């Protein structure tokens, strides 16, 4: 473990990454303070050029309107003490976990069934393929109407986000298991159930892990948008509506630093949940690690 | 334990009678196997040798029961073969070890799948692992084993099921020369100890002569039996002895000349692989070996 850390610290790629991030932050800071330094006389040609292109003259386009990293950090420190911020994390996580768990519980058996049973495939797959291209967000109005509570509506949409990816991965994974393994198991006298349990299931496991990790990413994309559109369950009062609503609320309230805080929070949340899944997945598939 | 395991052996005999196999329909039909008749004798090691791409693998799928012949009959101890069974275990060219199971679990797969994994079987598995030199690798995954080890693990995994016939489809192909010779020794020792019925397919004449009790020389596609050669070399065999044995070299020459005639025929029909063989054969002749 220790040597692994040392190895990472000693590698060029690691420091290249660090330098890149620092440079990015510095450029961002400079860019967002463009209102200050562009006031100097030296930059009047730049101001004229921007004006000629139809931009505002007194700051850089886009980056000049973005809050500075220093401001974001300050806003973050400020918000850390507020229960509402953590409530947003909690609400979003609840929805993600709920939708994701449902997608796993339904998606994995459903995918396996489509993969191993020709009749089930014939019945289930066409319908699935027709519904799949509908983006989860297109379901927002319908699910708000059809589900009794807003909470369930949002969870349903996050469920959809992960469900399709998981099913597609499970079906693809199970179908790509080499026929040699089936032949081998069959000729050793294995029953259909045994082949399913000890060949199909472990053979599909790597694809299930990949599908879940990707699905988890989509779940975060979807939950945020659903929270924004649906008002994030505003019956919870104020900022109790999840990270998506946190961003929306900051936008309405004009706190641009907080928008960025919310964005980065979602990035962190998504990253950690995917990493957690990957770590758990590699525990489940030890044979992939050893090559 | 060695005697005990030998006692379990039930050797079977396979009779192939006028078997043909074609693929495709009507005009597109391609005949791969034509009127094959031969016997895989009880307790003998029969080696089938033939040019690559001659339809040997098709024949193996028929023997294993993954496919059925278009015409003719294949029977194990008089009973017609219809589906795969533990009576006829096949070792394919590529490793079919389950990547998600350790060596031990791979070997134990068959007995466990049939619910026969008693203490006796565990003991037998340990014995087999030791025979193929993998005792220390029992908890490794196939991905951690070398090519030769994988083949040996697979041998053990097949033998624990006590098949009546073991069918091996170029199992040592792709291994380097040294490993291959090691595998021959492991394999022939396993065979000599328990005298199962073995059917071994190869394109390698040295392999064929070293291992076989009987060699079937096959024709080009559509495959037919061209010749049957008895290999009456004493067992147990050692590679070093074989190199100096005149009898072994005679057999080798005999088989090669049939294969050469076969290659010439397909060469005249435009096969490039055959051209390579013809060239190699002529070189060998001119060296006077």
- The predicted pLDDT at position B273 comes to 67
**A111, A170 contact by CB (below 8 A):** yes
Backbone angles phi, psi at B115, to 5 degrees: 70, 40
Query: What pLDDT was estimated at residue B99?
Result: 94
What average pLDDT does range B70-74 have in this prediction?
A: 91
- Contact (CB<8Å) B110/A188: yes
Q: Residue A237's pLDDT is what? A: 43
Res A40: pLDDT:
86
Judge if ipTM > 0.90. no
CATH number of B2-87+163-288: 3.40.50.300
Tell me which of B276 and B288 has the higher pLDDT.
B276
Can you give the pLDDT at residue A162? 93
Q: For A203, which residue in chain B has the nearest alpha carbon?
A: B100
Which of A180, A191, A285 has its CB closest to that of B113? A191
Tokens 């690559």 identify what position? B52
pLDDT reported for residue A280: 92
Q: What is the pLDDT of residue B8?
A: 64
Better-predicted residue by pLDDT, B270 or A204:
A204
The pLDDT of residue A291 is: 54
Query: CB A187 to CB B114 under 8 A?
Result: no
CB contact under 8 A, A187 and B141: no
Distance from CA of B229 to the nearest CA of A (A): 30
What pairing do the DSSP bridges indicate for beta strands B197-202 and B214-218?
unpaired
- pLDDT for B205-261, tens place per residue? 889 999 999 999 988 878 888 889 998 888 888 888 888 888 888 998 898 888 888
Q: Give dist(CA A166, CA A107) in Å, integer.
A: 6
**Distance to chain A for B185, nearest Cα, Å:** 25
What percentage of chain A's residues is helix, strand, coil (to nearest 5)? Answer: 85, 0, 15
Reply yes or no: is the peptide bond before residue B236 cis, omega within 30 of 0: yes
Stretch B5-11: mean pLDDT, rounded?
63
Q: Which domains does chain A have, with CATH numbers?
A: 67-286 (1.10.3720.10)
- Cβ B175 vs Cβ B207: under 8 Å: no
Q: Are the C-beta atoms of residues B210 and B220 closer than 8 Å to each other? A: no
CB B197 within 8 A of CB B217: no
- CA-CA-CA-CA torsion sign (A139, A141, A144, A150): positive
Of A189, A199, A287, the CB nearest to B141: A287
Q: pLDDT value at position A112?
A: 94
Given a contact cutoff of 8 angstroms between Cβ atoms, the answer to whether B20 and B71 are in contact is yes
What local confidence, expressed as pLDDT, does residue A50 receive? 87
Mean pLDDT of the B122-132 span: 91
Interfacial B residues in 47-106 facing A (CB < 8 Å): 64-66, 84-86, 88-90, 92, 94, 96, 98-101
Task: Tell me the average pLDDT of chain B.
Answer: 86
For chain A positions 203-262, those within 8 Å of chain B (CB to CB) are 203, 205
Q: Between B132 and A291, whose confidence is greater?
A: B132
Residues 6+ apart with CB under 8 A from A83: none
pLDDT the model gives residue A238: 43
pLDDT higher than threshold 60 for residue A232: no
- Greatest distance between any 2 Cα atoms in chain B: 59
CA nearest to A38, candidates A56, A52, A26: A56
pLDDT above 50 (res B92): yes
pLDDT per residue as tens digits for the range A143-153: 888 988 888 88
| Residue whose entry in the numeric block shows the structure tokens 């005679």 | B250
Which positions in chain B touch A180 (Cβ < 8 Å)?
A: 92, 94, 96
Provide the 10 A C-beta neighbour count for residue B54. Answer: 24
pLDDT at residue A46 in the model: 87
Per-residue pLDDT reduced to its tens digit, A74-131: 999 998 988 888 988 998 999 999 999 999 999 999 999 999 988 999 999 999 999 9
CA distance A201 to chain B (A): 10
Domain boundaries, chain B: 2-87+163-288
When mean pLDDT is compared across A15-19, A198-202, B228-232, B234-238, the lowest value belongs to B234-238
Q: What is the percent of chain B where pLDDT is above 90? A: 30
pLDDT bracket for residue A1 (50, 70, 90): low
Distances (CA, A) of A173 to A161, A184, A221, B78, B98: 19, 19, 24, 41, 15
User: Cβ A185–B113 below 8 Å, yes or no?
Assistant: yes
User: Residue B6 half-sphere exposure, CB side, CA atoms within 13 Å?
Assistant: 11
Q: Which of B86, B101, B143 sits opposite A188 (nearest CB)?
A: B86
* Cα(A175)–Cα(A125) distance, integer angstroms: 14
- pLDDT at position B109, please? 94
Measured on CA atoms in the order A206, A211, A214, A217, is the torsion positive or negative?
A: negative
- The rounded percent of chain B whose pLDDT value lies above 70 is 95
Q: What is the pLDDT of residue A239?
A: 40
User: How many whole angstroms separate alpha carbon B16 and alpha carbon A251?
Assistant: 81
Q: What pLDDT sits at residue A290?
A: 65
List all residues of chain B from 138 to 197 with a beta carbon under 8 Å from chain A.
Answer: 140-144, 157, 161
| Tokens representing residue B184 in the block | 């021959």
Chain B residues near residue A186 by CB distance under 8 angstroms: 84
pLDDT band at B2 (very low <50, low <70, confident <90, very high): very low
Q: How far apart are CA A113 and CA A116, in angstroms?
A: 5
Q: CA torsion sign, A39 to A42 to A45 to A46?
A: negative
Read off the pLDDT of residues B14-27 as tens digits, 9 standing for 90 and up: 999 988 888 887 77
pLDDT tens string A121-145: 999 999 999 999 999 989 988 988 8
Residue of B222, B165, B125, B146 whose CA lies nearest to B43: B165
Q: Do A187 and B90 touch (CB under 8 A)?
A: yes
Using a CB-CB cut-off of 8 Å, the residues of chain B touching A184 are 96, 98
């Amino acid at each position: 473990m220790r040597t692994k850390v040392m190895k990472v610290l000693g590698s060029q790629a690691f420091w290249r990454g660090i330098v890149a991030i620092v440079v990015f932050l510095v450029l961002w800071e400079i860019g967002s303070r463009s209102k200050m330094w562009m006031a100097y006389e030296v930059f009047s040609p730049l101001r004229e050029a921007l004006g000629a292109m139809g931009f505002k003259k007194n700051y850089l386009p886009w980056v000049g309107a973005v809050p500075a990293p220093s401001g974001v950090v300050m806003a973050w420190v400020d918000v850390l003490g507020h229960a509402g911020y953590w409530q947003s994390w909690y609400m979003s996580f609840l929805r993600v976990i709920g939708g994701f768990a449902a997608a796993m519980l339904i998606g994995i058996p459903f995918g396996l069934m489509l993969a191993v049973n020709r009749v089930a495939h014939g019945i289930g797959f066409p319908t699935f393929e027709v519904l799949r291209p509908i983006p989860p967000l297109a379901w927002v109005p319908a699910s708000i109407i059809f589900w009794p509570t807003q909470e369930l509506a949002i969870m349903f949409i996050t469920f959809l986000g992960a469900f399709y990816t998981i099913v597609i991965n499970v079906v693809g994974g199970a179908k790509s298991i080499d026929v040699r393994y089936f032949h081998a198991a069959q000729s050793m006298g294995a029953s259909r159930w045994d082949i399913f349990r000890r060949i199909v299931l472990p053979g599909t496991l790597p694809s299930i892990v990949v599908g879940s990790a990707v699905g988890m990413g989509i779940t975060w994309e979807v939950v945020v948008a659903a929270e924004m559109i649906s008002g994030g369950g505003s019956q919870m009062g104020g900022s109790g509506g999840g990270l998506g609503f946190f961003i929306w609320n900051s936008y309405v309230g004009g706190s641009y630093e907080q928008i960025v805080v919310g964005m980065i929070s979602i990035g962190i949340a998504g990253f950690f949940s995917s990493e957690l899944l990957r770590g758990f997945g590699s525990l489940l598939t030890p044979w992939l690690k050893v090559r | 334990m060695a005697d005990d395991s030998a006692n379990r052996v039930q050797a079977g005999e396979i009779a192939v009678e006028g078997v043909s196999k074609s693929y495709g329909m009507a005009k597109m039909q391609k005949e791969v196997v034509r009127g094959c008749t031969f016997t895989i004798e009880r307790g003998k090691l029969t080696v089938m040798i033939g040019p690559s791409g001659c339809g040997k693998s098709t024949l193996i799928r028929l023997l294993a029961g993954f496919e059925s012949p278009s015409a003719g009959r294949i029977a194990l101890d008089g009973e017609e073969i219809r589906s795969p069974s533990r009576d006829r275990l096949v070792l394919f060219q590529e490793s079919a070890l389950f990547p998600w199971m350790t060596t031990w679990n791979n070997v134990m797969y068959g007995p466990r799948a049939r619910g026969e994994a008693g203490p006796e079987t565990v003991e037998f598995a340990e014995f087999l692992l030791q025979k193929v030199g993998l005792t220390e690798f029992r908890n490794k995954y196939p991905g951690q084993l070398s090519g030769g080890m994988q083949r040996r693990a697979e041998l053990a995994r097949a033998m624990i099921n006590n098949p009546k016939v073991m069918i091996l489809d170029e199992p040592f192909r792709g291994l380097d020369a040294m490993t291959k010779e090691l595998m021959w020794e492991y394999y022939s020792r396993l065979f000599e100890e328990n005298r199962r019925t073995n059917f071994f397919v190869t394109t390698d004449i040295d392999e064929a002569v070293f291992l076989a009790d009987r060699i079937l020389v096959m024709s080009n596609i559509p495959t037919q039996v061209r010749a049957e050669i008895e290999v009456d070399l004493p067992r147990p065999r050692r590679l070093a002895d074989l190199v100096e044995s005149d009898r072994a070299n005679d057999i080798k020459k005999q088989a090669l000349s049939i294969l050469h005639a076969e290659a010439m025929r397909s060469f005249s029909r435009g096969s490039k692989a055959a051209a390579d063989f013809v060239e190699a054969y002529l070189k060998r002749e001119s060296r006077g070996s």
